[in-house]
Amino acid sequence: MSGKQTISLADSSATYHLGQRLGQLLSPGWIILLEGDLGAGKTTLVQGLGAGLEIPENIESPTFTLINEYHSGRVPLYHLDLYRLEPSEVEPLNIELYWEGIEVPAGITAIEWAERLPYQPADFIQIRLKHQDDGSRLAEIIYPESLPLIL
């Protein structure tokens, strides 16, 4: 069972604030799968997430480094960007270690280009960002029924 919300994001600060709200609401262990075309706003949302988690550092997308870890906030943030990878290249990376939180402290895992995942975690929040003709974005959020999301 799952819930679904569609939210209109008029500008980049709206995208940021959606991420910030999620950062304030979510407990360690949650995974956010971010999907959407080039420049749809995925990194902007993760920057807001970092603010919601009270991470003082600048968040930049790990397009080349694949993963950035932030341990200076209220809860750890694991920020992945799979843009440069094929699903078959993601498989051997064992990225489930991040969302299992066994070998690393439990945190929030945010994955850009989650379309490239060869497998999915059991529970996750999926956010699809879409370009609109007027330059704004639409966010489609799909989340488990167990999560009372008030955004």
For the bound state, the minimum distance from the C-beta of residue 42 to Mg ion, rounded and expressed in Å, comes to 5
Task: Out of 20, 108, 112, 125, name the contact with ligand ATP by CB under 6 A.
Answer: 112
Q: 76: exposed, middle or buried (C-beta count within 10 Å: 0-12, 13-18, 19+)?
A: buried
Q: What are the Cα distances from residue 133, in Å, to 130, 136, 137, 138?
A: 10, 7, 9, 11
Decide if residue 62 touches ligand ATP (CB under 6 A). Answer: no
Decide if residue 137 touches ligand ATP (CB under 6 A). Answer: yes
Decide if residue 136 touches ligand ATP (CB under 6 A). Answer: yes
Decide if residue 120 touches ligand ATP (CB under 6 A). Answer: no
Decide if residue 15 touches ligand ATP (CB under 6 A). Answer: yes
For the bound state, the minimum distance from the C-beta of residue 37 to ligand ATP, rounded and expressed in Å, comes to 7
**What is the chain's percent helix, strand, coil content, to nearest 5?**
25, 30, 45
